[in-house]
Structure 1
């Protein structure tokens, strides 16, 4: 049982391990250290993450969900429009609570992130919601995030490095957009092999991501001037949990009370519109805020948000599944009555 839990949650455990390792010996992975993260991470690991995404993305699976424009518009507006603005206004209040300034900016970073490619789809599928819509919106959100997220970050936080605005987007294109395109092109030539062997793309991507997290925190712990007090960390974690509860509840109420979505669509919206991508987020931050001393502190809220959204999603699976099933039973009885009358 214990081994099974460790296997299932190996990535979350990996995050703890690499951060602890960075704390113990930060010289190994810091900038200029033996691992040379300014090359191995900034260019190679980030490129591989997005090439991996392009290679694994099954564009043909999205065709069946394209016509649900109302659902897609709601999800994308909520995650890339409402959430960043809501967090921005909330931070005006939280600024009075003496929480570390860079952790607060990290909360804004979370708000600007696109939905993840995997977690929202997995939870939607496990509940029995509209999986096709979840796949479509996760993919669409990821592609929109390539351009929208950097713009949102620059709008709400600004550029904290000497890197010119144009260079940021050229770098993003070469390390994010280009590898996704190359991955999709490569997929056409090896599609049959991929369908037959089913390589563990998620595992590969997670390993690359752990390397990025490790080197980022090596830089952090090498900086003796870094101030990350316990009060700020605990306060940030509490805010992250409360934000997710507020967002999930808001999506549920909006889609059921006002938009009257089918229950399966509501399930997809609850997770696609509120989950945020760690896989896209960390590499983007590495590019946009490369060189800033507080990069890792900007990453901390996202590192907290990621496992929290998975845990909360998991906790909601039984009740959400029961609610969905209840709707199916009610619809079935309603159809039976109509048939009897006919």
Structure 2
């Protein structure tokens, strides 16, 4: 009998995470290939790729379901407050308390993570698995994405105004987002009526577009960071620090949103939507926006590292939590019927 049965081994990461890990490894060995202004011209390619991603997101915006979920204002208030008030406060506290122990760029990455919008796909998926308020999840996840185009640069500029993020112009950030994110998003939504039938048929391709763009941005960011010597100086310590802080953040917000939902008297279905939408952070929006907001003023590698780690943690922990919520919902339904 073999010492290690390879047939029982299961790779713990999905294709998307594996691709990002592969991009990071490549960036460590061949950084000049993917660097900005390198032979692949990834700085230009990813700029157009980001515009394409937001164009497709605009075309896929579920207008009808947004209207249906509009009335549940207490749920919306909790989710958006968690995303844009609770998270940023925690980020600023971490930045203040740990600034003498963490790398400056990593602190900025943690603050940036806390300023990001919620996810759409995983928030809705987890809420569906947990048998929660799916309509409320769709509304809040989409609203969070739209608000993030303004609030994320605003929150980062607030942190930068304290002298903690180098040179950062809120006006320039808003102009860049309006041109590269908001404009394609609006155009895509205006063309939704004609594009949606084709996009639905090719959803596998559409889903690969945004993931491919994110992987290319990660490759570009880590190539630039490798050439700057950052990983040679602090590689493993940055990874451990980002992992610990991301885990603490996720557990804190999951606990706080669940407690607040019960204090506010939410139904179990609304609590589920609040917990999953209010605790998520979007790697799909965060990685492209980081490139746009910070450019070459700071190393992008440490800034996107907390987002990547948090993304994986939220998928693993929330998947476990979703199954427990689903069992609880089924138990309550069975008790009501008996």
Tell me the TM-score normalized by structure 2: 0.91
Name the CA distance, whole Å, in 2 between partners of 1:225 and 1:4: 34
Name the CA distance, whole Å, in 2 between partners of 1:309 and 1:2: 28
Name the CA distance, whole Å, in 2 between partners of 1:121 and 1:3: 31
Which residue of 200, 222, 226 maps to 2:227?
222
Q: In the alignment, does 2:82 pair up with 1:74?
A: no
Q: What is the RMSD of the two structures over their aligned residues, measured on CA atoms?
A: 2.3
Q: Report the count of equivalent residues.
A: 330
Tell me the TM-score normalized by structure 1: 0.90
SS in 2 for 1:128: coil
**Structure 1 stretches of 5 or more lacking a match?**
334-342
Distance 1:199 1:239, change over 3 A: closer
Distance 1:2 1:215, change over 3 A: farther
Mean CA deviation greater in 244-253 or 200-209: 200-209
Q: Is the 8 A contact 1:117 1:139 kept in 2?
A: yes
Which residue of 254, 257, 263 maps to 1:251?
257
Q: Is the 8 A contact 1:114 1:277 kept in 2?
A: yes
Hey, what does 1:13 align to over in structure 2?
A: 18
Q: Is the 8 A contact 1:55 1:184 kept in 2?
A: yes
Q: Is the 8 A contact 1:53 1:183 kept in 2?
A: yes
Q: Is the 8 A contact 1:45 1:212 kept in 2?
A: no
Hey, what does 1:177 align to over in structure 2?
A: 182
SS in 2 for 1:31: coil
Hey, what does 1:238 align to over in structure 2?
A: 244
Name the CA distance, whole Å, in 2 between partners of 1:28 and 1:130: 46
Q: Is the 8 A contact 1:244 1:309 kept in 2?
A: yes
SS in 1 for 2:181: helix
Which residue of 131, 144, 148 maps to 1:145?
148
Hey, what does 1:189 align to over in structure 2?
A: 194
For 1:158-199, what per-residue CA distance to the aligned partner results, in whole angstroms no more than 9, with x for missing partners?
A: 595667442221111111100101111221223333345545
Which residue of 132, 137, 141 maps to 2:135?
132
1:158-307 matches, within 5 Å, as: 158=161, 164-196=169-201, 198-224=203-229, 227-256=233-262, 258-307=263-312
Name the CA distance, whole Å, in 2 between partners of 1:313 and 1:296: 26
Mean CA deviation greater in 310-319 or 130-139: 310-319
**Structure 2 stretches of 5 or more lacking a match?**
1-5
Name the CA distance, whole Å, in 1 between partners of 2:230 and 2:85: 35
Q: CA deviation at 1:202?
A: 2.2
Name the CA distance, whole Å, in 1 between partners of 2:217 and 2:52: 12
Name the CA distance, whole Å, in 2 between partners of 1:7 and 1:187: 37
For 1:262-304, what per-residue CA distance to the aligned partner results, in whole angstroms no more than 9, with x for missing partners?
A: 1011111111001001111111111110012422211111111
Distance 1:34 1:181, change over 3 A: same
Distance 1:95 1:192, change over 3 A: closer
Q: CA deviation at 1:223?
A: 1.0
Mean CA deviation greater in 85-94 or 47-56: 85-94
SS in 1 for 2:99: helix
